Structure 1
Amino acid sequence: MSEPDRKAVRAFSRRLFDLYTAAGLTLMIDVGHRTGLFEAVAQGPATSAELAERAGLQERYVREWLGAMVTGELMTLDGDRYALPPAHVPGLTGGGARNLAPMAGMVPLMGRNLDGIVRAFREGGGLPYEDFAPDFTGVMDGLNRRPLDELLVDAWLPLIDGLPEQLTGGVRVADVGCGTGHALVVLGRAFPASEFVGYDIAEEALARARAEAAGLPNVRFEAADAAAFRPDRPFDVAFAFDSVHDQADPAAMLRGIHDALVPGGRFVMLDMAASSDVAQNVGNPFAPWIYTISTLHCMTVSLAEGGAGLGAAWGRELATAMLGEAGFTAVSDRPAPGQALSLLYSAARPA
């Protein structure tokens, strides 16, 4: 093998260090999100002491954190006053879908189980969902809540022809793998004439769901394995939000959803925007993140149960094929507005 070009070696070393720096800054973003520092600095330029007072924190820690923010070019420094550039405010603060600060929490959450992941690389198997609990529930809820609030009713549902009108008129709706159930709370408030039932196997998530849905008579939740739920009556519409790819038996889940629908019933699935072919994902700026969270969570929790291990990057081609194999027709997908990581699938049980 010939000696590599020295400039190329140095350039790659710099890229590696850039990656490590970005990982460190991700942890600092998580700190800023958890402590309310971003919200504090968004109120206006301030010294480290003023920001610490606004957020109710220790100034010495705030000052060191600000050093990372300024040198990492997330914030600016003018004299002794720190500021958040206006273009950075939506990405780090507020209740909108553009606030990506909650995503930073995925990095420490995934990283804490690296020893088990490395062991699974050598021995097989995986890490069960319980190894990520209870923190995983809270992180995912914080990550998904803003897009659901802002986009589900106004941006996503109108893409499915006639669905908003159907929900307005009153139908039975299921959310399979509902997690903390926030999607059904949003839908239950928007469409009071419809009945909504969420299914999940995680009791801590269902406890949060029931607490939030208190007072909504058209929303309820049941504990059930997504691959084996059997409703007492069929549904007109079913949803699955990023819940299929990490199931132990995703094929059984899709068949179960198909069979739980009335003839002509609709299935709407939100899942990762990726191809099933790695080569087709080269150049997709989101692909490294998708493969990473898949390795460190989605795939391993399935393999821990002896499951299919689809992973988050199961992709459009395989998803479409599996929907067809489950009996669905009229399968289509499109980008989910405001959520570049996701595709919105629509399918139907034949009438």
Structure 2
Amino acid sequence: MSKEENENNDFGGRFLQILNDGMLCLMTSVGHKTGLFDAMARLSPSTSIEIAKAAKLNERYVREWLGAMVTGRIIDYEPSTGRYSLPAAHASCLTRDAGIDNLAMFTQYIALMGNVEDDIVKCFKKGGGVPYSAFPKFQEIQAEETARVFDARLVGDILPLAQGLTGRLKSGIDVLDVGCGTGHAINLMAKAFPKSRFWGYDISREGIGAARAEAKKMKLKNAKFKIVDASKIGDREKFDLVTAFDTIHDQARPAKVLKCIHRALRKGGTFLMQDIAASSRLHENMENPLAPSLYTISTMHCMTVSLAYGGEGLGTVWGEQKAKEKLAEAGFESIDVRQVEGDILNYYYVTTKMSKDL
């Protein structure tokens, strides 16, 4: 067999695996949404009837789902007893009890982006973009992802990346979160640091509504939320800390947003920006284990949403070099890029406003 034939066979086999894994992502999303993984993690080896009863689901659908999970080597099956089990090692990254290590929730993005595939194809032909309104469940999934990460890491791991910040928050400072979404980060910080004052800005009426509802439920008096276009923030030297969690690359006018943030900070104030851990240079992302997923999410959501509003279309993988360039253009001089141990998805850019705006 020639070298070319061997390569064709190798790629054919790899692509069959890609096809199967793509289908398994959809089934994993179903397992997450229906609570099947959570139910199975609490059960001893069980029949499909027992699993369906525990999860309060239709047995016929559960049985077919189990077929995909077993042949996909995600769930174990004993033919002699007809019983299924979820290995503990698999449960540790598929169940809600896994907390920050739960990877199953990410598979929900597959179906979400599939809903706009035809619209994206039209954009390939005609340009333009797909608006945020075409992704009705995006806020819901983002809220779940935010809670998963920030409940575990925001106060103890992320905020301390900026030296001395925790102490200042305990003493009492003014804080703004730009693109706050459903406001969970602001509410967590407001609860942890009752002497500080917190504001969350977002363009989404739905997100701000959810943020206010959560703040009320948590009985917070130091968290406020406003519907604000991030590119039109008019505050001047009002805040000691501004945060932007995974939101700048989505903006239609990121350069303008960053300048607004610089202007809103007091001299000596801190800007903490979370964004995707990647390079701006394609070849440097070849070893990034998440690169194919990141470029896909960019094409199907982040880039296209920005372009839909006549924006720059930076995309998810704008990368460290471009991020530093944009921050410098906004007036930030010294920029540190840091990571939280165990977090391969994000970089945390920490910078200080050195001088007042003219």
Deviates more, 1:91-100 or 1:294-303: 91-100
1:267 aligned residue (266, 271, 286):
271
Distance in 1, matches of 2:256 and 2:244, equals 14
Q: Is the 8 A contact 1:328 1:347 kept in 2?
A: yes
Q: 8 Å contact 1:177–1:201 — kept in the other structure?
A: yes
Question: Per-residue deviation at 1:250?
Answer: 0.1
d(CA) in 2 for partners of 1:228, 1:302: 16
Deviations 1:48-82 (A, max 9, x none): 11110001011111111111111111111133221
Matched, 1:283 2:287: yes
Whether contact under 8 Å (1:156, 1:337) holds in the other structure is no
Q: In structure 1, what is the equivalent of residue 51 of structure 2?
A: 51
Q: Of the candidates 155, 160, 164, which is equivalent to residue 162 of structure 2?
A: 160
2:344 to 308, 317, 340: 340
The aligned counterpart of 2:66 is 66
Note if 1:116 corresponds to 2:115. Answer: no
Task: Establish whether residue 86 from structure 1 lines up as the match of residue 88 from structure 2.
Answer: yes
The 8 Å contact of residues 227 and 250 in structure 1, kept in 2 or not, is answered as yes
For the residue of structure 1 that corresponds to 2:275, the secondary structure is strand
Is the Cα–Cα contact under 8 Å of residues 237 and 266 in structure 2 kept in the other structure?
A: no
CA contact (8 A) 1:151 1:337 kept: no
- Give me the whole-angstrom Cα distance separating, in 2, the residues matched to 1:337 and 1:94: 21
Quote the Cα distance in structure 2 between the aligned partners of 1:99 and 1:123.
38
SS at match of 1:227: helix
In structure 1, give the amino acid aligned to 2:179: G
Matched, 1:231 2:235: yes
| Aligned match of 2:14 | 15
1:105 corresponding residue in structure 2: 108
Q: Find the partner of 1:251 among 248, 255, 261.
A: 255
SS at match of 2:260: helix
The separation in 2 between residues aligned to 1:139 and 1:338, in whole angstroms, is 22
Q: Which runs of 5+ in 1 are unaligned?
A: none
Name the SS for the 1:97 alignment partner: helix
Give the Cα separation in 2 of the matches to 1:7 and 1:280. 28
Match of 2:134 among 131, 136, 160: 131
Distance (whole Å) between structure 1 residues aligned to residue 168 and residue 158 of structure 2: 14
Work out the percentage of aligned pairs sharing the same amino acid: 47
Deviation at 1:94, TM superposition (A): 2.3
Q: Which of the residues 312, 315, 319 maps onto 1:311?
A: 315
The residue matched to 2:233 in structure 1 has which SS?
coil
Q: Gaps (5+ residues) in structure 2?
A: none
Separation (CA, whole Å) in 2 of partners of 1:220 and 1:102: 29
Q: Give, as a single letter, the amino acid of the residue that structure 2 aligns with 1:277.
A: R
Aligned to 2:27: 28
Distance in 2 of aligned mates of 1:157 and 1:90: 26
| Alpha-carbon separation, structure 2, partners of 1:4 and 1:247 | 47
- Tell me, in whole angstroms, the C-alpha distance in 2 between the residues paired with 1:114 and 1:289: 15
1:204-262 C-alpha deviation (Å, 9 max, x unpaired): 11111111111211111100011111237610000000100010000000000000000
Does 2:185 align with 1:183? yes
Q: Quick one: distance in 2 between partners of 1:144 and 1:12?
A: 37
Is the contact made by 1:175 and 1:240 (CA closer than 8 Å) also made in structure 2?
yes
Deviations 1:289-345 (A, max 9, x none): 111100000000110111100001000001011111100122011223332111111
Does the CA-based 8 Å contact 1:147-1:339 persist in structure 2? no
TM-score of the aligned structures, taking structure 2 as reference length = 0.95
Structure 2: distance between partners of 1:338 and 1:203: 34
Q: Post-superposition shift, 1:19?
A: 1.0
Task: Answer yes or no: is the 8 Å Cα contact 1:97–1:338 preserved in 2.
Answer: no
Tell me which residue corresponds to 1:142.
144
Work out whether residues 27 and 104 of structure 1, in 8 Å CA contact, stay in contact via their aligned partners in 2. yes
Contact 1:52–1:62 (Cα < 8 Å) also in 2 = yes
Deviation of the 1:283 alpha carbon: 1.5
Q: Matched residues in 1 for 2:176 and 2:38: separation?
A: 36
In terms of mean alpha carbon deviation, does 305-314 or 79-88 score higher? Answer: 79-88
Query: Quick check: 2:237–2:263 contact (8 Å CA) kept in 1?
Result: no
Q: CA RMSD in A?
A: 1.3
Equivalent residue for 2:153? 151
Of residues 251-260 and 14-23 in structure 1, the stretch that sits farther from structure 2 once superposed is 14-23
1:4 Cα deviation from its structure 2 partner: 7.3
User: 1:15 deviation in Å?
Assistant: 1.3
Give the letter for the 1:106 counterpart.
Y
Counterpart of 1:310 in 2: which secondary structure? coil
